[in-house]
Amino acid sequence: MDDPPKILVVEYDAMLLASEVLLLRSRSYAATPADCISHASIFLSKLKIAAPIIGHSVPRDHREELAGLCRRTQPEARILVLHSSGKEMAARPDAAVDSREGPTLVLNTLDILLADLNKLSAPRSTPSPQAKGKTA
């Protein structure tokens, strides 16, 4: 069985952080909480993160900084911002949703981002040597 995708959840509000981590773990994601940029930076340097989630309670300038940090340290990761203004960020996330629209939207968006990531990382099948020489 494959390991669950590692999700880094960055929120500055402790209650939001705890609830988002619980929600992700209920869906079998390996959710790692970070309550500031310095903690997020440490996790990004030590763990292979499939998707960082930058939460609603993170100030706009910190959202920008975190998205840029994610792009530099883990360019293959899919960045999800839980704020509608994420669509206007200079360091573009892969998706931005308004978290006030509910957890179903957040989870569905994350599922789509990770499915896309899995397609890109799946090994390509190569024709067998016998098939290479065959013609139809």
Q: Which residues have CB under 8 Å from 8's CB, separation 6+?
A: 32, 34, 40, 43, 44, 47, 49, 51, 52, 53
CA dist., res. 20 & res. 103, Å (int): 9
Enumerate the domain spans of the chain. Answer: 6-120
| Orientation angle between helical segments 14-26 and 103-121, nearest 10 degrees | 60
On whether the pTM is more than 0.75, the answer is yes
Tally of CA atoms within 13 A in the half-sphere of 49 that contains its CB: 31
The tokens describing 4, both together, are: 């669950």
CATH superfamily of domain region 6-120: Response regulator (3.40.50.2300)
Contact between 29 and 5 under an 8 Å Cβ cutoff? The reply is: yes
| Full pLDDT tens readout for the chain, 136 residues | 578 999 999 999 999 999 999 999 999 999 999 999 999 999 999 999 999 999 999 999 999 999 999 999 999 999 999 998 888 888 889 999 998 999 999 999 999 999 977 765 555 444 444 444 444 3
